[in-house]
Amino acid sequence: MMLHIPGVLQREQVTAIRARMEEAPEWVDGRESVGSQGARVKRNRQLKDGSALSVELGQVVSQALMNNPLFFSSVLPLRILAPYFNAYGGGEHYGLHVDGAIRPQRGGLAPLRADVSTTVFLSDPDDYEGGELVVVDAYGTHEVKLPAGDAIVYPSGSVHQVLPVTRGERVASFLWTQSMVRDDAKRAMLFELDTNIQKLRAAHGETEAVVGITGHYHNLLRMWAET
């Protein structure tokens, strides 16, 4: 399931993050965070993973995502990997690839299973040309280029790429989440059910039917969740 989540970060937060990133001396080759497959097709720059600045800004992004009801409902996060920050310009790109299934964590924490990938855009579409996130799934090929502060979530097992940036600079944060429900189809079913429960509750209040359907949602979650 792909989902656009608007307004994860407020404009003031985006501006503050970008200002801090412009001060950073810790930009490194983006190939430092990928395996051999990704290294052959990845050409971009990243804030150095684990640097004080990366940790500081990552906490802002992580907290904003975890406080976002749409992110929580669609992803059902169990563990979230510390966010990375990258930049593309001057033809930089990331060719077709699949994200690794298991991601190491800093600080001796247990590795994380990557179920859901998230990109939080930190540049507006008019700031650059090219740079679309292209995700290929069973329903076709989808190009994504969102306003600064908005996020896109999609299954980590999807084949995807970032097209070359031919003007300006594309800046973003990206991360992986281990979901309580690892199967994408089951997560999508739960998200649709939760969305419709919220609509029914808004229209009719806490009726007996709404309570009953809510019970089915939680029983399915109880059946499928891993904690």
Quote the pLDDT of residue 25.
74
pLDDT tens-digit map of 101-131:
999 998 888 999 999 999 999 999 999 999 9
Residue 160 is assigned to a ligand binding site: yes
C-alpha torsion sign, points 190, 217, 81, 17: positive
148 vs 171: CA distance, rounded Å: 9
Residue 222 is assigned to a ligand binding site: no
Model confidence, pTM: 0.95
Question: Which of 51, 44, 4 shows the shortest CA–CA distance to 23?
Answer: 51
Q: Alpha-carbon Rg of the chain, whole angstroms?
A: 18
> Is 204 exposed, middle or buried, given 0-12, 13-18 or 19+ CB atoms closer than 10 A?
exposed
Cα separation of the two ends of the chain: 21
pLDDT tens-digit map of 133-184:
999 988 899 999 999 999 999 999 999 999 999 999 999 999 999 999 999 9
Residue 167 is assigned to a ligand binding site: no
- Say what percent of the chain tops pLDDT 70: 100
Residue 93 is assigned to a ligand binding site: no
- Report the amino acid identity of residue 220: L
Q: Mean pLDDT over residues 67-78, rounded? A: 98
The pairs formed by 216-223 with CB atoms below 8 angstroms and a separation of 24 or more are: 217/190, 217/193, 220/186, 220/189, 220/190, 220/193, 221/76, 221/180, 221/181, 221/190
